[in-house]
Chains A and B, each alone.
Chain A
Amino acid sequence: MDRLLKMKERIIVLFLILCAVLTLFVTVSIIAILLGESLLFFSKVSPVEFFTGTRWTPTIKPYSFGVLPLVIGTLMITIGAGLIAIPAGILSAIYLSEYASERTRNVLKPMLEILAGIPTVVYGFFAFAYITPYLKKIFPDMQAYNALSASIVVGIMIIPIVASISEDAIRAVPRSLREAGYALGARKPRVILTIVIPSALSGIVASFILGISRAVGETMAVTIAAGRTPRLANILNPEDWMKSIETMTAAMVEIGMSDVSGQSVAYKSLFAIGLTLFAMTFALNTVSYIVKMRFREVYR
């Protein structure tokens, strides 16, 4: 009887191990598929053309597979979203950890989390249906599809990421550092800005990077609101923000929804973009992790 029980347990443990190892398998599969199909793509289209080309027309003759316009598009949205989420996120973190009472915090913090819980399709709808028309009243040149509206909603979407992680970092700063600041005669804003924030910097920077990584990977909001016009926009030109662009993720959706044959080069370009996207978000997440670990402040 005992031996049967032992065997049964062994099988169960084996199943458990398989479940855990499955996660490794998932990562391996992602990389294998992206690499595999991308290599097929790069056998037809030179990597140089892909990474340095300035035109993206995979389905219209003459075919061109330069990914730069898409990268610029992604960059625009990311920068725009960052400009909103980073200040709002860090200021929120300061309010929640330094000023808000326990009760207020218990109400506002979950509300902030809701911002991250709304599906991105809904944000895309908001941008396209409400924000763009509203912005049009202020900027008559605003096009129906534009980078600005999409940036705004993506920014709102990632505020909770920045706020939550920054808040944790700020709370970890020991009280006695603040007290030392007050004892030297500093007022609260100065204590916060010159002592608390620098002391929490590694966690705060990590939160920025994670927020940015999320913005890079954002798909539906930008597909709906930012447009499908791949072009080398000028990030520094405000007018370019009011026009349509295309991000890497939107291009992937476009190809995925189109009728191109699964064997065609155009279809395979989808994987090449995917590989680039994966590499970018992986790099950002790794840097964020390193920043958090390596530069973690020790408060003695």
Chain B
Amino acid sequence: MDAIFDVRNLSVYYGDKIGIKDVSLQIYRNKVTAVIGPSGCGKSTFLRTLNRLVELVDGVRIEGRVLFDGKNIFDRDVDPVELRRRVGMVFQHPNPFPKSIFENVAYGPKIHGIKDREKLQEIVEDSLKKAALWDEVKDRLSESALGLSGGQQQRLCIARAIATNPEVILFDEPTSALDPIASSKIEELMIELKKRYTVIVVTHNIQQAARISDYTAFFWMGELVEYDRTEKIFEYPENELTERYITGRVG
């Protein structure tokens, strides 16, 4: 199996506080990897390091290496802009821009140089279809994105991330702000997306992780406790802490 991310001894510090400590694991291509753990365990920090978004925080310090497709993303000659084109992100609260649906999805391709109107229309339609939103919005592409429901807005954000043609999509608790029906649509979508992309999902919902992921990483207090195939983590975990978290006795 092919590792698209190879994380080696990654540590992230916010000033004196530890975000994550000495994390090493490999993320496999075209699989859904879930990152679970209680609040504050470092799972969001880990996710945001993969697209170097964590660097936006004042006073942050990063040690270790993250190899994306064989190249360390922290190397001096790596352009974070290009990295973020290849590694997209969907956030916890749907955050469409206050622009039209079309403009939201076209934003990414536009800033990466695609100007041709027809090409953009193609990309927008294609992305919205892949995000299972096209049928619902095809007649109102020029309307404001803020008029969509919460679940639709989140699928729009997924389409927006897909539009830059990434290889990896990072999801930071994508359904925690949505109702159960909208959530299950997103979950179906994530499983479908792995055919074309590598999906990494941070979630505090253990059952969700069990439902959709192939691999699961369990974080506790900034450290990676266990990482393995999902069935193994949930049915016979090796670490006692993992077992206690999965069964709800802790965290």
Contact = CB atoms under 8 A, between A and B. Distances in A.
A300 B99 CA distance: 13
B96 interface: yes
Interface string A172-208: 0010110111111111001000110011000000000
* Interface core residue of B91, B95, B108, B161 (most chain A CB under 10 Å): B95
Contacts of A198: 97-99
A185 B95 contact: no
A186 B146 CA distance: 21
A185 B98 contact: no
23 contacts: A177-B98, A179-B91, A179-B95, A180-B91, A180-B95, A180-B157, A181-B97, A181-B107, A183-B51, A184-B107, A184-B108, A184-B111, A185-B82, A185-B83, A185-B111, A185-B164, A186-B81, A190-B111, A195-B97, A198-B97, A198-B98, A198-B99, A297-B98
* Interface core residue of A174, A298, A299 (most chain B CB under 10 Å): A299
Nearest to B79: A185
Contacts of A176: 91, 93, 95
B121 to A, nearest CB: 18
B1 interface: no
B112 interface: yes
Chain A interface main SS type: helix
B161 A183 contact: yes
Contacts of B85: 184-185
B30 interface: no
A261 to B, nearest CB: 59
A156 to B, nearest CB: 33
B209 to A, nearest CB: 22
A186 B97 CA distance: 14
B88 interface: yes
Contacts of B153: 300
Interface in B99-124: 99, 107-108, 111-112
Contact of A184 (B93, B98, B146, B161): B161
A297 B146 CA distance: 10
A177 B94 contact: no
Nearest to A173: B98
A245 B146 CA distance: 49
* Interface core residue of A174, A179, A297, A298 (most chain B CB under 10 Å): A179
B91 A185 contact: no
Contacts of B81: 185-187
B155 to A, nearest CB: 14
Interface of A: 174, 176-177, 179-187, 190, 194-195, 198-199, 297-300
Contacts of B82: 185
Contacts of B111: 184-186, 190, 194
Nearest to A176: B95
B136 to A, nearest CB: 17
B99 A184 contact: no
Contacts of B78: none
Interface string B43-67: 0000000010100100000000000
A177 B146 contact: no
B250 to A, nearest CB: 31
B156 to A, nearest CB: 11
B160 interface: yes
B89 interface: yes
Nearest to A178: B56
A81 to B, nearest CB: 30
B185 interface: no
Nearest to B86: A185
B164 A300 contact: no
B84 interface: yes
A35 B28 CA distance: 79
Given A180-B91, A300-B146, A300-B153, A185 B96 contact: no
Contacts of B94: 300
A174 B97 CA distance: 11
Contacts of A194: 107, 111
Contacts of A174: 95
Given A183-B89, A298-B146, A300-B146, 15 more contacts: A176-B91, A176-B93, A177-B97, A179-B95, A182-B53, A183-B53, A184-B107, A184-B161, A185-B80, A185-B108, A187-B81, A194-B111, A198-B99, A299-B98, A300-B96
Contacts of B80: 185
A237 to B, nearest CB: 39
Nearest to B160: A184
A46 B80 CA distance: 69
Contacts of A187: 81
A184 B158 CA distance: 11
A180 B85 CA distance: 12
B236 to A, nearest CB: 37
* Interface core residue of A177, A183, A186, A198 (most chain B CB under 10 Å): A183
